[in-house]
């Protein structure tokens, strides 16, 4: 920025992006009328990207793979899509959509992913990694106990980041634009200097980490040079601010392939640079939109090398480039700026898309115009999710935060999280009903669970057994997480992202659960109806006979909703009792991504009447078809799960046919605003909004080529519908579509 | 709907409403987002009825007014500036006496109230209910001729409905007209003109709402073991819908397709 435009403040003396934003942000309360369409250059570039993505689809989901290079921050020469039309430059490799090897998470996974495509890693690398280099995956398995391995293989713990990067860390990528890398290196050197004797484990580890971070910053400078960018200094104008921010993010996704590689909250930061350039006549609105369109385009073509099994859990090749938009500052001003609109406008200019994962931070006092615009975009594109800014801001204290992955709060540059997938609560209940044995294999998993008497299930006795089972599961889960994150730090440390985060940040360790609605409805059936287990000759439950009706989660009925809320509170309590690596704070999520399908497959029949193998409802959703009082009652049930008990987030996916939202377009827009206002006023945390006709999805299953950009929200993120497996597509279609008439 | 919550039956009928079902996201029965309480029981048996399971006078589930108000209050945050509660049916005015205390409570809570009715009852209770506690009446004009009315509803005297319209107009309070549009049966230009002519000078009519006929209720007739009378009817084409809108626009300031 030009010197005289800068207001001095704390941010000029120390790394403090929030302080810069507070003193420069220009909240915008107006309408979307100022927005413009894509530039000619953007259109050309996007055509090229779409053609490449078409090739990717035709080639079974992968366009190209490099088998010779370990992808690091400074690996690969510069790559372009169409250089003369590119306003924002930079690709992960020298070629669009080329995937790369990031072997430090686990070399076997890389080998497998390549083998599935008929490829092999370059021979010397193969030899190096099989004989001499230890990876995160090797480390984890050298420490895993037989018990942990059993929990893993039986599907009690699934999707653990023990053979790929954990992700979920958000670097404060804005720092590179605001400060330039030289300043950031100086700041880290100071931190290093202050890490002094006595050399305890903690200090030694931190000194090594900071040194690695500085190395990564130096490599970022090299990355910039490849594109003729001088990242050592701060950005001087809007184009540079976008470019510098993107380069910082690019460094992260070149080196790490975490499931979620989120962006944070860059829109309103970039707005400050854009508005200044606009005011000084250095930029037109067309050019401003072009910067954002092209930045977003780059975020849409981020790719990682994955093996097919990964798709069972995280379907549709997601990258979770989550960017939060909107929200409020603690001083009462809104963070909505014109660039908040410009980001959402990319869904029109480039068409709907799962990435970046656009997440609107909803607050009661958001500008009404912005609320209406978000509602309109959500209805038109089914590409955005909404999260409760009032709730998170008040509970977490921070007003400068991002969302990692789907629902995980992160104070930008100040805190990180250790991702831990999830455990299966429905299966945990079945352990309680089967003397601690897996209901499918009969293997003994948890000791000390007494057999239940013959006849109808007794609620109190079941609950007593469940408590023992869930305590045991929590303990093994905690052991597993400690091992995973110890090893990840040791073998696959995120030096590039951590270089853009304060030294020694706060850490949340993020546990998760699947099967909440199954658990709650099962408890309810046992409590309010009569449930008779049907057992095989080994005494394992194979079915349940239910006599009488029972309240079901999803109908705003406290008699069952309380059971759901308490189950989360209780499991969270168990987790809070256990020792955690690096003294991280235990948090819990109710989020399944698309793993609700695979979890269902690995779980026998449950006392709520669900048959063996049937998919769970996603996240905190009520089970398909059991919410009979309409959509609001369903939302109210989910809102009763307390965020305080699940600080890693509570995901709800809301699908509705357009007509059910209202008769006219204006009605629909207004009604969705009212739904969001109402839902979040009840302290709910998250909702995905899909406004689609079932017929559209069915047609897209049959004729995927007609719907290359059809985007739907699933638990916490969006996917391209045609990239889901047929089974997952079926599950999405079966899921509650609210269609009252 | 689920059979929960079961409430104890109390003899004093005016604290109990006989409810068929509750829709928490009602977006087609009045302005904004509404909790729609479908009441059980109707004296008509309209050939196109899409809720035939609400016709029987017995059945449904008994709700205490308190329980119902509690339920509504949980939905209140979603009502926004325009939404509220609609009682529909069935024919809600059959239970006017019990709707009175329900709506009284809702008005105390500042909630917008609406009644979706065929307008065939106008007694002491209805008048108090409509005048003092009902923000919006949605009046279903079945047919503009006596023969047509009888053929559609099985009942005589269409004038009873028109009398309620007159009464509402005299009270000066808001009203929407609703009209189920069936090709050949009610989507007839002369009938539409007749309706327009009859109501054009009414000042309380905010909106004329066309409900395009659909067969989505047919399976419910079968489930009840009844023969669906309109088996051969078809849905309106887009052109037919637009033509009907065009005619009605000559008479009403706002015409909507629901």
Q: Which residue numbers of B have CB closer than 8 Å to A's CBs? A: 1-5, 21-28, 32-33, 35, 50, 71, 74-83, 214, 216, 256-258
For the stretch A424-465, pLDDT in tens is 999 999 999 999 999 999 999 999 999 999 999 999 999 999
When pLDDT is averaged across residues A409-435 and rounded to a whole number, the result is: 97
Give which of A80, A78, A81, A77 is closest to A51, Cα–Cα.
A81
Pairwise CA distance, residues A721 & A710, whole Å: 6
Average pLDDT score over chain A: 95
Of the candidates A617, A651, A685, which is a domain's last residue?
A651
Which of B24, B27, B216 faces A662 most closely, judged by CB atoms? B27
- Shared-domain flag, residues A468 and A374: no
| pLDDT at B14 (0 to 100) | 67
> Does one domain contain both A392 and A290?
yes
Pairing of strands A541-547, A530-535: antiparallel
Number of neighbouring beta carbons within 10 Å of residue B117: 26
Which pTM does this prediction carry? Answer: 0.94
Asked whether residue A638 carries a pLDDT value surpassing 60, the answer given is yes
CB contact under 8 A, B79 and A674: yes
Token pair for A501: 């985060």
Per-residue pLDDT of chain B (258 residues; tens, 9 = 90+): 444 444 444 344 468 999 999 999 999 999 999 999 999 999 999 998 988 999 999 888 999 999 999 999 999 999 999 999 999 989 999 999 999 999 999 999 999 999 999 999 999 999 999 999 999 999 999 999 999 999 999 998 889 999 999 999 999 999 999 999 999 999 999 999 999 999 999 999 999 999 999 887 888 888 899 998 888 889 999 999 999 999 999 999 999 998
Q: How many CB atoms are located within 10 Å of the residue A190 CB?
A: 12
Owning domain of residue A151 = 135-163+415-651
Is residue A661 included in any domain, yes or no? no
Instruction: Supply the DSSP symbol for A468.
Output: H
CB B89 within 8 A of CB B42: yes
Closest residue in B to A666 (Cα–Cα): B32
What is the mean pLDDT of the segment spanning A129-147?
A: 97
Facing residue for A674 by CB, picked from B23, B32, B256: B32
Say how far apart CA A725 and CA A731 lie, in whole Å: 10
Is residue A635 over pLDDT 90? yes
What residues contact residue A210 under an 8 Å CB cut-off, 6+ apart? Answer: A188, A191, A192, A195, A503
Length of chain B: 258
Q: Where are the alpha helices (DSSP H) in B21-131?
A: 65-75, 96-108, 124-128
Q: Judge: A675–B25 Cβ closer than 8 Å, yes or no.
A: yes
β B61-64/B84-88 pair status:
unpaired
Q: CA dihedral defined by B99, B103, B104, B105, rounded to 10 degrees?
A: 110
Instruction: Show me where the domains of chain B are located.
Output: 13-257
**Residue from the list B26, B77, B82 with its beta carbon closest to the beta carbon of A678:** B77
Contact B33 A674 (CB under 8 A): yes
**Lowest mean pLDDT segment, chosen from A213-227, A603-617, A726-740, B181-195:** A726-740
Alpha helices in A492-557 (DSSP H): 495-498, 516-528
Residue entry with tokens 């059979």: B3
**Residue A735 pLDDT more than 80?**
no
Dihedral Cα B226, B229, B232, B234, nearest 10 deg: -100
Q: pLDDT by residue (tens digit) across A345-391?
A: 999 999 999 999 999 999 999 999 999 999 999 999 999 999 999 99
Domain assignment of residue A274, yes or no: yes
Residue A523, pLDDT > 60, answer: yes
* pLDDT for the residue numbered B9: 41
Predicted local confidence at residue A65, as pLDDT: 97
Q: In this complex, do B256 and A555 lie within 8 Å of one another by their Cβ atoms?
A: no
Q: Does A1 score more than 50 pLDDT?
A: no
Residue of A49, A374, A405, A438 marked active site: A405
**Tokens for A78?**
């510069």
**Of chain A residues 632-661, which have a CB less than 8 A from chain B?**
632-636, 660-661
A512 and A424 in one domain?
A: yes
Alpha carbons within 13 angstroms on the beta-carbon side of residue A669 total 14
- List the one residue out of A557, A566, A552, A539 whose CA is nearest residue A608: A552
Nearest residue in chain A measured CA to CA from B37: A629
B32: left (phi over 0), alpha (psi -120 to 50) or beta: left
Task: Taking residues A513-538, report their average pLDDT.
Answer: 98
Band the pLDDT of A694: cuts 50, 70, 90: confident
Partners of residue A628 in chain B, C-beta under 8 Å: 1-2
Residue reference for tokens 């400074």: A74
Of A664, A681, A738, the CB nearest to B77: A681
Task: Search chain A and give the residue with CA nearest B67.
Answer: A557
* ipTM greater than 0.90: no
Contacts A–B by Cβ distance under 8 A: 101
**Residue found under tokens 């006496």:** B97
Residues A385 and A445 in one domain: no
- Tell me if A83 is assigned to some domain: yes
Query: CA-CA distance, A649 to A366, in Å (whole number)?
Result: 21
Number of domains in chain A: 2
Q: For residue A731, what pLDDT is reported?
A: 83
Picking from A261, A536, A532, the residue whose alpha carbon sits closest to that of residue A408 is: A261
Q: Do A188 and A256 have their domain in common?
A: yes
- For residue A514, what pLDDT is reported? 96
Indicate whether A249 and A392 sit together in one domain: yes
Q: A706 lies in a domain?
A: no
Gap between the Cα atoms of A732 and B34, Å rounded: 27
CATH class given for the domain over B13-257: alpha beta
CA closest to B211 among chain A residues = A663
Say yes or no: A283 and A219 in one domain.
yes
Say whether A49 is catalytic: no
What is the per-residue pLDDT for A740? 54
Contacts of B32 in chain A (CB under 8 A): 670-671, 674
Contact list in B for residue A674 (CB cut-off 8 A) is 32-33, 78-83
A684 in contact with B at a CB cutoff of 8 Å?
no
For residue B208, the chain A residues in CB contact (below 8 A) are none
Same domain (yes/no): A497, A529: yes
More confident: A676 or A738: A676
pLDDT in tens, A696-709: 888 888 888 888 88
Average pLDDT over residues A484-494: 98
Segment A281-296, tens digit of pLDDT:
999 999 999 999 999 9
Residues A428 and A447 occupy one common structural domain: yes
A572 and A442 within one domain: yes
For residue A352, the domain's CATH number is: 3.20.70.20
Is pLDDT above 80 for A270? yes
Which residue, A606, A636, A651, sits at the end of a domain? A651
User: According to the model, what pLDDT value does residue A405 have?
Assistant: 94
Residue A470 within a domain: yes
Residues A173 and A317 in one domain: yes
């Amino acid at each position: 920025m030009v010197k005289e435009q800068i207001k001095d403040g704390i941010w000029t003396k120390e790394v403090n992006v929030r302080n810069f934003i507070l003193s420069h942000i220009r909240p915008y309360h107006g309408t979307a009328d100022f927005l413009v369409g894509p530039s000619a250059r953007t259109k050309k570039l996007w055509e090229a990207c779409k053609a490449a993505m078409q090739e990717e689809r035709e080639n079974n989901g992968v366009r190209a793979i490099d088998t010779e290079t370990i992808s690091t921050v400074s690996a690969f020469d510069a790559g372009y899509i169409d250089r003369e039309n590119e306003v924002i430059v930079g690709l992960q490799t020298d070629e669009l959509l080329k995937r790369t090897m990031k072997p430090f998470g686990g070399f076997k996974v890389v080998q497998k992913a390549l083998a599935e495509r008929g490829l092999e890693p370059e021979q010397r690398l193969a030899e190096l990694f099989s004989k001499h280099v230890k990876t995160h995956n090797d480390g984890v398995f050298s420490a895993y106990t037989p018990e942990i391995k059993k929990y893993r293989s039986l599907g009690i713990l699934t999707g653990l980041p023990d053979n790929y990067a954990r992700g979920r860390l958000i670097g404060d990528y804005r720092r590179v634009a605001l400060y330039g890398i030289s300043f950031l290196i100086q700041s880290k050197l100071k931190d290093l200097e202050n890490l002094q004797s006595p050399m305890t484990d903690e200090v030694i580890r931190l000194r090594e980490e900071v040194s690695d971070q500085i190395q990564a910053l130096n490599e970022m400078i090299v990355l910039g040079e490849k594109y003729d960018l001088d990242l050592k200094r701060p950005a001087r104008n809007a184009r540079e601010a976008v470019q510098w921010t993107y380069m910082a993010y690019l460094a992260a996704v070149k080196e790490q392939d975490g499931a979620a590689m989120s962006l944070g909250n860059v829109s309103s930061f970039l707005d400050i640079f854009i508005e200044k350039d606009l005011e000084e006549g250095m930029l037109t609105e067309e050019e401003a939109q072009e910067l954002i369109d092209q930045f977003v385009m780059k975020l849409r073509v981020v790719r990682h090398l994955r093996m097919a099994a990964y798709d069972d859990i995280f379907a549709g090749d997601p990258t979770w480039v989550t960017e939060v938009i909107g929200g409020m500052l603690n001083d009462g001003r809104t963070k909505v700026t014109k660039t908040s609109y410009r980001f959402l406008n990319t869904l029109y200019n480039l068409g709907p898309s799962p990435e970046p994962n656009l997440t609107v931070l909803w607050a009661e006092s958001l500008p009404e115009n912005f609320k209406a615009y978000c509602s309109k975009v959500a209805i038109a594109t089914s590409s955005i999710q909404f999260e409760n800014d009032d709730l998170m801001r008040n509970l977490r204290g921070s007003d400068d935060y991002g969302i990692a992955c789907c629902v995980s709060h992160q104070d930008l540059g100040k805190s990180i999280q250790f991702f831990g997938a999830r455990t299966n609560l429905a299966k945990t209940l079945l352990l309680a009903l089967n003397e601690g044995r897996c209901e499918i294999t009969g293997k003994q998993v948890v000791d000390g669970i007494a057999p239940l008497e013959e006849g109808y299930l007794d609620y109190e006795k079941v609950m007593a057994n469940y408590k023992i089972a869930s305590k045991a599961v929590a303990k093994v889960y905690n052991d597993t997480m400690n091992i995973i994150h110890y090893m990840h730090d040791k073998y696959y440390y995120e030096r590039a992202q951590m270089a853009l985060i304060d030294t020694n940040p706060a850490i949340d360790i993020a546990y998760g659960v699947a099967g909440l609605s199954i658990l709650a409805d099962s408890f309810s059936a046992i409590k309010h109806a009569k449930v008779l287990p049907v057992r095989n000759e080994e005494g394992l439950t194979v079915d349940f006979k239910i006599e009488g009706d029972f309240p079901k989660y999803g109908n705003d009925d406290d008699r069952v909703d309380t059971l759901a809320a308490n189950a989360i509170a209780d499991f969270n309590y168990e987790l809070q009792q256990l020792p955690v690596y690096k003294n991280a704070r235990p948090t819990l999520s109710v989020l399944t991504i698309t793993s609700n399908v695979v979890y269902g497959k690995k779980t026998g029949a449950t006392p709520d009447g669900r048959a063996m193998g049937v998919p769970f409802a996603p996240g905190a959703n009520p089970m398909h078809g059991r919410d009979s009082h309409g959509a609001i009652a369903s939302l109210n049930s989910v809102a009763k799960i307390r965020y305080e008990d699940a600080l890693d987030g509570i995901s709800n996916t809301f699908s509705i046919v357009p007509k059910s939202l209202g008769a006219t377009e204006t009605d629909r827009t207004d009604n969705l605003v009212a739904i969001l206002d109402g839902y979040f006023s009840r302290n709910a945390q998250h909702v995905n909004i899909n406004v689609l006709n079932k017929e559209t999805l069915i047609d897209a299953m049959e004729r995927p080529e007609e719907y290359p950009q059809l985007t739907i929200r699933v638990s916490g993120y969006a996917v391209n519908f045609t990239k889901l497996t047929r089974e997952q597509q079926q599950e999405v279609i079966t899921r509650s579509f609210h269609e009252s008439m | 709907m689920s059979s929960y919550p079961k409430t104890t039956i109390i003899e004093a009928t005016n604290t109990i409403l006989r409810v068929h079902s509750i829709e928490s996201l009602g977006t087609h029965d009045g302005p904004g987002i509404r909790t729609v309480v479908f009441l059980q029981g109707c004296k008509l048996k309209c050939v196109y009825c899409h809720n035939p399971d609400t016709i029987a006078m017995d059945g449904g589930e008994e709700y205490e007014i308190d329980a119902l108000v509690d339920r509504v209050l949980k939905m209140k945050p979603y009502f926004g500036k325009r939404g509220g509660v609609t009682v529909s049916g069935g024919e809600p005015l059959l239970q006017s006496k019990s709707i009175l205390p329900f709506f009284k409570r809702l008005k105390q809570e500042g909630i917008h109230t609406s009644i979706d009715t065929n307008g065939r009852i106008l007694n002491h209770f209805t008048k108090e209910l409509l005048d003092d506690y009902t923000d919006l009446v949605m009046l279903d004009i079945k047919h503009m001729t006596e023969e047509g009315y009888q053929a559609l509803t099985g009942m005589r005297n269409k004038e009873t409905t028109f009398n309620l319209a007159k009464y509402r107009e005299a009270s000066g309070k808001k009203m929407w007209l609703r009209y189920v549009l069936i090709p050949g049966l009610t989507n007839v230009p002369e009938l539409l003109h007749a309706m327009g002519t009859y109501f054009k000078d009414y000042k309380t009519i905010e909106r004329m709402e066309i409900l395009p006929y659909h067969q989505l209720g047919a399976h419910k007739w079968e489930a009840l073991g009844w023969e669906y009378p309109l088996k051969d009817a078809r849905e309106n084409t887009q052109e037919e819908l637009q033509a009907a809108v065009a005619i009605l626009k000559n008479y009403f300031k706002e015409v909507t397709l629901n």
